[in-house]
Amino acid sequence: MSEAQVQRPYVVLLVDDDLRTTRRMADMLREDGFAVEIARDGAAAVARLSRSPVPDALVTELTTAHADGLAIGRFARNQRPGMPVLVLTGYPNLFHADAFTGGPPAALFTKPVEYAALRSALRDALESSQASERRKSSPAKT
């Protein structure tokens, strides 16, 4: 966790209507060095994604009010192409990994989610996304 604290912490947006559990998860992620924000439904998530600074990653439930996880994910990728998207759901059948374009396929976690697995998947996705952004901005690109 030390390496993540060296630079600006990654901003992660959590979207779920189960606020009690989501807050607890946010606490644990913060302890592990992430900056975390919470939206309880699709509308709030889209509102947050519209503001700067745009979050670095999205962790969302699939069945959310006003706009579902797929819509939030697509909006997020629109705001920041290549943004890591992690989908947590009790309805894995509703999800297709290629639902979002403009970046690597979203990772799917069927609830109940094991926290450790989620945290490492999130970290890996953020790091590889940062690496590819650095490659894009570098003039030595071939």
Partner 1 sequence: MPGETRFQELKRYVRFDDRDAQLLVRFRERAEPEFPRIALEFYDRIREHTDAHDVFTGEEQILRLQRSLVLWMARVCGGTYDEAYHEQTSQIGRVHVRIGLPQRYMLTAMALIRVALLRIADREFGADSPPMREALIRILDIELAVMLETYKDSFVERIRAVERQERLDLGSALARAEHRYVNAVELASVIIIGLDRSGSILLFNREAERVTGFARDEVLGRPFLEAMAPEDPDGGRSRRLEDALAGRSQPEVTEGVLRTRAGKLRDVLWNLGYAGNQQEDDIVLFAIGRDLTETRAMEERARQAEKLAAIGTLAAGLAHEIRNPLNGAQLHLSYLERAIKKKAGEQDMLGATRVVADEITRLAHLVTEFLDFARPKPLQLKATSLFKLCDHARSMVLTQADGVRVDVSCDLPSADLEFQSDQAKLTQVLLNLLQNAVEATGSGGGGSVVLRARRGPRHVIIDVEDDGPGLSTPEAPIFDAFFSTKEGGTGLGLAITHRIVTDHGGSIDVSSKTGKTTFRVILPLAEAPDGPS
> Which one of 7-15, 65-73, 110-118, 128-136 is the stretch in contact with partner 1 (CB under 8 A)?
110-118
Neighbouring residues of 1: CB distance < 8 A, sequence distance ≥ 6: 32, 33
Q: What is the 3-state composition of the chain as percent helix, strand, coil, each rounded to the nearest 5?
A: 45, 15, 35
CA dist list (Å): 55 to 35, 59, 116:
9, 10, 21
Size of the site for partner 1 (CB under 8 A): 21
28 binds partner 1 (CB under 8 A): yes
Q: Which residue, 49, 43, 41, 47, is CA-closest to 15?
A: 41
One-letter amino acid of 89: T
Work out how close the CB of 1 gets to partner 1 at its nearest, in angstroms, rounded to a whole number.
12
**Interface with partner 1 (CB under 8 A), residue from 52, 114, 134, 137:** 114
**Interface with partner 1 (CB under 8 A), residue from 7, 52, 93, 138:** 93
63 binds partner 1 (CB under 8 A): yes
Q: Which residues bind partner 1 (CB under 8 A)?
A: 18, 20-21, 24-25, 27-28, 31, 63, 88-91, 93, 110-116
